[in-house]
Amino acid sequence: MFEHYSEPLLSKTAFLRRQLLYLIIALGIDTGSLAIGVIGYHVFEGYSWIDSLLNASMLLGGMGQVTELHTTAGKLFASFYAIYCGVIFLVVAAVLLAPAIHRFMHHFHLDTGNDG
């Protein structure tokens, strides 16, 4: 997936292409997670689509619940979705930072040919 430390550092263009790919992956994870939340709020709590989107977006963004929950199923879903959102936040951050951290670490482990 990433180049080995014995390989040369990627060109800036190739690195930016890789970073764009990882951004697209992160957006896909966020979009899928948002869809899970919207559908969950709509099914389990009976919210309208726009209210479901608002609540799922706020939880996924780390802000918290907007409207009051009324059903047991909705409360259980919101509990599990909140935990899931916390994990997804860390996953997306890792996906976005992985290419940059790898490039940084690779830069310091390049073989320069000087053995002394």
Note whether residue 76 is domain-resident.
yes
Please give the pLDDT value at position 34: 97
Note whether residue 97 is domain-resident.
yes
Using a pLDDT cut of 70, give the percent of the chain over it: 91
Note whether residue 1 is domain-resident.
no
The model's pTM: 0.81
Band the pLDDT of 116: cuts 50, 70, 90: very low
What's the whole-number mean pLDDT along residues 73-86? 95
Note whether residue 4 is domain-resident.
no
Which domain does 18 fall in, by range? 12-108
Please give the pLDDT value at position 110: 58
Number of domains in the chain: 1
More confident residue, 108 or 90: 90
Q: What are the CA-CA distances from residue 76 to residues 26, 42, 48, 49, 103 (Å)?
A: 26, 14, 18, 19, 42
What's the whole-number mean pLDDT along residues 100-111? 76
Note whether residue 46 is domain-resident.
yes
Note whether residue 7 is domain-resident.
no
Note whether residue 2 is domain-resident.
no
Q: What are the CA-CA distances from residue 2 to residues 15, 23, 43, 101 (Å)?
A: 10, 16, 41, 11
Please give the pLDDT value at position 19: 94
65: domain CATH number is 1.10.287
Q: Encode pLDDT of 17-51 as tens digits.
A: 999 999 999 999 999 999 999 999 999 999 999 99
